[in-house]
Amino acid sequence: MLRALQLAATPGVPLRPNPRVGCVLLAPDGTVVGEGYHHGAGTPHAEIEALTAAGEAARGATAVVTLEPCNHTGRTGPCAVALIEAGVAKVVVAQRDPNPVAGGGLEALAAAGIEVEDGLLLADARALNPVWTFAHEHGRPFVTWKYAATLDGRIAAADGTSRWVSSPPARRDTHALRAECDTVLVGTNTVAVDDPQLTVRDADDQPLPDQPLRAVMGQRDLGEDRRVFDEAAETVQLRTHDPLEALKTLYADHDRHHVFFEGGPTLAAAFLRAGVVDEVVTYVAPMLLGAGKPAIGPLRIRTISKALHLEITDVTVVGEGAEANVRIRMQPPKGA
């Protein structure tokens, strides 16, 4: 299983939309007769690659797979059927497939008389695809809320100006984080006031070929001249004020697993009150305003004992000298 996990984590494998999976086929004497990993959407699954490498040696072998073999036909056929037809004797998996569409592979294998086992190195397998696993287990995308603020927690000055609170290195770092997600989400007010393009760009400010979905949340009608509606990337407007409804729509209708949320203070407060912020990334600039727009709106917290405490998971200085910002990554407590 350690080798299968290593294969699944092969550098260069896309992190979305499919999970990373590795497979090793063992002959009855323990000899490796085939191995493979999933290279990305539309390519053969790990099991198929391993079966192809093994050929006839797959008959009577044990398949060791990081994720339960799929039991449905998508861009490729069901791996559970391929393993049955290849004549494997046993299948050992680390993680059950949480995707309700693709799950059930172990039951199909067992019904065909193949010995099955699951749970081996489960924590390691889950760590391979944490966002994908989260989305399918919760029926909504994982949400990373990002904002930039001054040392006294302001995202804009009293006159409304906000360019730029964050430094150029911090903004480049933000684009790298956006690129890890499949959706960038803001509210209609952000689009109306700031007119962001919400694309992912490189260090030379050039757009990358693989762009996340741009999602705009809210009931307000927006002009077609807004940059978020240009042809640089796909855009969807979610006409709701309910964070959970918006996220479930992104999951169910658009197959999205990781939202990079850059909404303003009112929408950020709504997401936190709904308990759907799973990670917070803030860029703190070494400047003071004393007044201006706060990073977040009311949370209905009236006493310090009810404060929402976050766990700091990483602190990094981004940039140097006058351009230095502090990036802090945090997680709200589970169930918050």
pLDDT in tens, 144-195: 999 999 999 999 999 888 888 999 999 999 999 999 999 999 999 999 988 9
The domain boundary, picked from 134, 162, 186, lies at 134
State the CATH number of the domain containing residue 40.
3.40.140.10
pLDDT tens digits, 104-137: 999 999 999 999 999 999 999 999 999 999 999 9
| Residue numbers of the domain that contains 193 | 139-331
pLDDT tens digits, 22-42: 999 999 999 999 999 999 888
Q: Are residues 130 and 146 in the same domain?
A: no
The answer, yes or no, to whether residue 336 has pLDDT greater than 70, is no
Question: 47, 49, 68, 262: which is the annotated catalytic residue?
Answer: 47
Q: How far apart are CA 196 and CA 210, in angstroms?
A: 18
Q: What is the DSSP letter of 300?
A: S
Q: Are residues 289 and 203 in the same domain?
A: yes
Q: How far apart are CA 249 and CA 293, in angstroms?
A: 30
Q: How far apart are CA 264 and CA 195, in angstroms?
A: 13
CB 114 within 8 A of CB 83: yes
- Give the residue among 245, 254, 257 at the shortest CA–CA distance from 217: 245
Provide the mean pLDDT of the chain.
94
The domain boundary, picked from 114, 134, 154, lies at 134
Q: Are residues 111 and 183 in the same domain?
A: no
pLDDT tens digits, 252-262: 999 999 999 99
Q: 335 falls in which pLDDT band (50, 70, 90)?
A: low
Q: Are residues 213 and 251 in the same domain?
A: yes
Burial class of 297 by CB neighbour count within 10 A (0 to 12, 13 to 18, 19+): middle
Please indicate whether residue 180 is annotated as part of the active site: no
Q: Cite the DSSP H helix spans in 211-310.
A: 243-254, 265-273
Q: How far apart are CA 253 and CA 186, in angstroms?
A: 18
Structure token digits, residue 181:
């997600």
Q: How far apart are CA 301 and CA 207, in angstroms?
A: 41
Composition of the chain by helix, strand, coil, percent to 5? 30, 25, 45
Task: Domain count for the chain, please give it.
Answer: 2
> What is the reported pTM?
0.90
Q: Are residues 227 and 280 in the same domain?
A: yes
Tell me if 336 is assigned to some domain: no
